[in-house]
Amino acid sequence: MLPERDKLQQVNDFFNHHITFSSDLVVWLKSDYWAMPVELLAKGIGDCEDLSIAQYFTSIETGVDENKLRITYVKALQLNLPHMVLTYFESPQAVPLVLDNLMPNIRSAAERSDLLPVYSFNGSSLWLAKIKENGQPVGNADRLNRWTNLKQRMLEKVF
């Protein structure tokens, strides 16, 4: 069995090598659409939200503890644009690792001065994010309508 960091590396490498970046307007003809991982894989093209979501669910399927993972909404400072990445907290107090399509190598959040975190979430919780800290819990992730909609669509496709 591989260590979690090795699993994350394989997930990051797979998606960064097999998915082409494009905006939701080009791919889905919508201003903002969170694709299911199967949709992303079928098209082979998507944006940062689609990639982070697919990395999140794939990491869980490989055995990475869901409680250590967060999808993190950030501002990409050099681009002056909103962006989304997957973060991994080896322990609750650890500086997270960042999986990202802008920088294909996994790096510590401490090395990513180009990202300003806004909030993060996983399957159950929502946090106000801090780059070097765990963040402050602010409630259930179901407060995010797009996340709730995505999970509902995924359930409908399973059954």
Is residue 133 very low, low, confident or very high in pLDDT (cuts 50, 70, 90)?
low
Per-domain residue ranges of the chain: 4-158
Helix or strand holding residue 20 (H, E): strand 20-21
> Length of the chain in residues, anyone?
159
Which candidate, 104, 127, 142, places its Cα nearest to that of 8?
104
- Which pLDDT score, from 0 to 100, does residue 123 have? 87
Q: What is the pLDDT of residues 40-70, one digit of tens each?
A: 999 999 999 999 999 999 999 999 999 999 9
Residues 133 and 20: their CA atoms lie apart, in Å, by 31
Burial environment of residue 151 by CB neighbours within 10 A (0 to 12, 13 to 18, 19 or more):
middle
Q: What is the pLDDT of residues 95-109, one digit of tens each?
A: 999 999 999 899 999
For residue 108, count other CB atoms closer than 10 A to its CB.
Answer: 13
- 12-22 per-residue burial string, b: 16 or more CB within 10 A, e: under 16: beebbeebeee
* The CATH number of domain 4-158, selected from 3.10.620.30, 2.40.30.30, 3.90.75.20, 3.40.50.1000: 3.10.620.30
Average pLDDT, the chain: 91
Q: What is the pLDDT of residues 8-42, one digit of tens each?
A: 999 999 999 999 999 999 999 999 999 999 999 99
In percent, how much of the chain has pLDDT > 70? 94
